[in-house]
Amino acid sequence: MKNDGNPYVPYAATVEDAWYETYGERSIKTFRVVFDDKEVRENWEHFPGQCAIIGILGVGESMISISSSPTEGDFLRFSVMRMGKVTQALHQLEAGDKMTVRGPYGNNFPVDEWKGKNIITIGGGIGQAPLRPIVEYVKANKDDYGELTTIYGSRSTDDLCFRNEFENMMEDESVSCHLSIDVEEEKWPHFVGFVPTLLMEVNPSPENAIAITCGPPIMIRFVLENLKKLGFEDDQIYTTLENRMKCGIGKCGRCNAGNLYVCKDGPVFTYAKLKEVPEAFA
C-alpha cells in the first residue's frame, strides 16, 4: 500500500454512485467509491470480511465493512445504516461527493482455506454487508468452491438489503438462494418466518461445508443453535463481531471482548474461538 502500512492515513475518495437499499428511520444507503489517487487505487488490497474507516472532513469517521469483493473491480462499496452523527452525514453524500477512506482493518474470512468446500451464508438485515463480498468472491471463483447457498431475511420487504441482487441470484442456477421476511405481505412469493427457521427448511448438509452468519445478535444466537442441530462443528461456523471501536488497531482497548481485541483479532471469528470468550456474547 502507498501508506506504507500506516493505518492512520486517510485517502480522498469520490462517490461514483449512491443509492438507497432501504428507507425509513434506519435506512441503508450503499456507496460505490473510488480513490482519487491512481496509485492508491491500484495498490489497495482487501479480502472479504475486512473493514475500512470512512469519514467526512469536519464531521467524523465510522468503521464500516467493505461490502464489495476485490473481484468486482477497482472500487469499494460500503452499505451504511443511518444511526447517528457520522452515518447521517454520510447519507447526504451523492455521486461526485468526497469522503475519506483508511484501512483496510481487521482480519478476513479465510476464503483460500475454504477452497473445495460448500459455502453457506446466513444473513439478516445490514448483516449481509460483510457477507456480500464472500458471495461475490465465490461466484467469481466458482471453480474453486463447491455449492454456494445464500440465506437472507429481513423484517419486511421494505428492509430487504441488496434485493435486486438476491432476485438475480434466484435466477442463477449456480446459486441456491433463499429469502425470507418475518411477517406475511401481499405478493411475497418466498418464505415467511425468521432466518433460523428458514435455515432449517433449507437444511444444508454440514459435510465439507462452511457456514458464515452475520446479523442481529438474536438471529445469530438461534442460527448458531440450529447449525449445531444440523450437525455443523464449531470450527465450521464463522461470524463477525461489531463491538464499538475507536483506534481500530489494538491500542485503545475500546473494542475488547474478554482477552480479544475485536479490531485486531477480528472482526472475523470461528464459533469455536468465540466459545472460549463468554464476554463475546454479552
Site of interaction with ligand FAD (CB under 6 A): 51, 62-65, 79-81, 83-87, 126, 129, 242-245, 267
Considering only residues 230 to 259 of the shown chain, the ones binding ligand FES according to CB under 6 A are 245-248, 250-255
- Name the binder of 142 from ligand FES, ligand FAD, none, CB < 5-8 A by kind: none
Residue 60's DSSP bridge partners are 56
CB of 255 to ligand FES, least distance (A): 3
**Smaller CB distance to ligand FAD: residue 83 or 202?**
83
From the CA atom positions of the chain, what is the Rg in Å? Answer: 18
CB of 159 to ligand FES, least distance (A): 29
Separation CA 97–CA 29 (nearest Å): 14
Max CA-CA distance within the chain? 54
Site string for ligand FES, 257-276 (x = CB under 6 A): ----x-x-------------
Site string for ligand FES, 33-62 (x = CB under 6 A): ------------------------------
Separation CA 122–CA 130 (nearest Å): 11
- Name the binder of 38 from ligand FES, ligand FAD, none, CB < 5-8 A by kind: none
Indicate the residue type of 164: N
- Name the binder of 131 from ligand FES, ligand FAD, none, CB < 5-8 A by kind: none
Letter string b/e over residues 118-142, b meaning 16 or more CB atoms within 10 A of that residue's CB: bbbbbbbbbbbbbbbbbbbbbbeee
**Smaller CB distance to ligand FES: residue 116 or 253?**
253
CA atoms in the 13 A half-sphere facing the CB of 114: 28
Q: Which residues are CB-neighbours of 131 under 8 A, at least 6 positions away?
A: 121, 123, 150, 212, 214
Separation CA 30–CA 7 (nearest Å): 24
- Name the binder of 62 from ligand FAD, ligand FES, none, CB < 5-8 A by kind: ligand FAD
- Name the binder of 99 from ligand FAD, ligand FES, none, CB < 5-8 A by kind: none
**Smaller CB distance to ligand FAD: residue 56 or 209?**
56
Residue 20's DSSP bridge partners are 29
- Which residue, 206, 15, 222, 190, is CA-closest to 101? 15
CB of 12 to ligand FES, least distance (A): 24
Which residue lies nearest ligand FAD, judged by its C-beta? 84
Taking the CA atoms of residue 18, residue 22, residue 28 and residue 31 in that order, the dihedral angle to the nearest 10 degrees is -20
CB of 268 to ligand FES, least distance (A): 14
C-alpha cell at 77: 462499496
Size of interface with ligand FES, in residues (CB under 6 A): 12
- Name the binder of 252 from ligand FES, ligand FAD, none, CB < 5-8 A by kind: ligand FES
**Residues near ligand FES, by CB under 6 A:** 245-248, 250-255, 261, 263
